A and B are shown apart, each in its own frame.
Chain A
Amino acid sequence: MDIRTQVSTNYGDMATKFADTWKSQVSRLQARFSTAIEEVRMPIEFPVDVPIVYVKKDSIIGVLSFLKTEQGFEYGFLADLTAIDESPAEPRFEIVYNLYSLTSKARIRVKVRLAEGEEISTAVPVWRGADWAEREIFDMFGVKFTGHPDLRRILMADRWEGHPLRKDYPLRGYQVFTDPDPINQSLLD
């Protein structure tokens, strides 16, 4: 079977349902942001379930707030915010924003490619809920978000060295601490 053949998903046949919506939305995006949109992958053409919009790092906040507030888009819900380590590919990281529209029930995916050591603007001013998701990305991949209100580790111990979901982190890179975690005085009232 051709991998591009359309199949039913848990979300229903989104590709048929939202084909026109997505087409007009993507052309509006490209008209508005022109070169800031690096690449667009549409369902059927590519083996993807929802359109993937690759955005340049510097215009990500503009694109996200446009998608959130603009009439006809209204992707008001940040369903997920995560990252992928694509090494040895260059640039190495992909930051993935999965958006959902509570009005049109459509979904869209925004991605940003980031090289090692590059920073990206925080999405917290757009969605308050991006706070902990970005902390998790920082914890697991070491990607820094400029302007984040509280960029600390969220899952691993504060003393942990390295970022475990990086491809070059050893699978069995245990760091065992026998004494209790030191109390972070700055977090106390």
Chain B
Amino acid sequence: MSKDGSAHFFTTKLDAMINWGRKNSLWPLPFGTSCCGIEMMATFAADFDISRFGAEAMRFSPRQADLLIVAGIINLKMAPVLRTVYEQMSEPKWVISMGACASSGGIFNVYSVLQGIDTMIPVDVYVPGCPPSPEGVMHALLRLQEMVQKGETHSQRRLKAEGKEYALTAKA
């Protein structure tokens, strides 16, 4: 309603509006295990300022986060922990694999290292580099925002297939 009492409307599709809200309020869980973690912290800090994209609310509890940024090497002893953390996050949830180690094991093709976290959890965006620059992480974030808007991410596709695309409306 405007001041003179006339009705004002703005029409849009519900999923477009929900996804717009989702993509501009990503709450990351920083899963930093090695040098990529340092670059990730730089991305979060004032110089690069990830809050410009609405993703500055770091949550160290998986229950309160919807974006898992895996930054660094994941060894085989850590792999079940990573999977548990991912499973504890609330739907819909997104994963950025940051750096060569998280994406493929990197230079560590040995008995103790997981050869890419995509063998353990679904990954939406990969960031190349060893370690990637903060610009790379911001690019990945923008790419993820595009994917969230279009509903292209693993989590959104799975929820859609299960008919639970909108947790609020699907409760009935």
Contacts and interface: CB of A to CB of B under 8 A. Distances in A.
A156 B80 contact: no
Contact of B77 (A156, A171, A178): A156
Nearest to A158: B77
A164 B80 contact: no
B119 interface: yes
Interface string B72-83: 000011011101
A176 B110 contact: no
Q: Helix, strand, loop or mixed for chain A's interface?
A: loop
B80 A170 contact: no
Contacts of B77: 155-157, 181
Contacts of B83: 178
A95 B6 CA distance: 88
B111 A173 contact: yes
Contacts of A174: 76, 111, 115
Classify chain A: how many residues form its interface, as a range: 10 to 19
Interface in B67-123: 76-77, 79-81, 83-84, 109-112, 114-115, 119-120
What bracket does the count of chain B residues touching chain A fall in? 10 to 19
A95 B16 CA distance: 66
B139 to A, nearest CB: 30
A11 interface: no
A46 interface: no
A164 B112 CA distance: 9
Contacts of B80: 177-181
Contact of A176 (B84, B109, B114): B114
A9 interface: no
A76 B84 CA distance: 45
Contacts of B79: 176-178
Contact of A172 (B81, B111, B119, B120): B111
Q: Which of B76, B83, B114 neighbours the largest number of chain A CB atoms within 10 Å of its CB?
A: B76
A171 B111 contact: yes
A164 B84 contact: no
Interface in A11-69: none
A173 B109 CA distance: 10
A169 B120 contact: no
A175 interface: yes
Q: Which 8 A-B pairs have the closest CB atoms?
A: A173-B111, A180-B80, A164-B111, A157-B77, A177-B80, A180-B84, A178-B83, A171-B110
Interface of B: 76-77, 79-81, 83-84, 109-112, 114-115, 119-120
Interface of A: 155-157, 164, 169-181
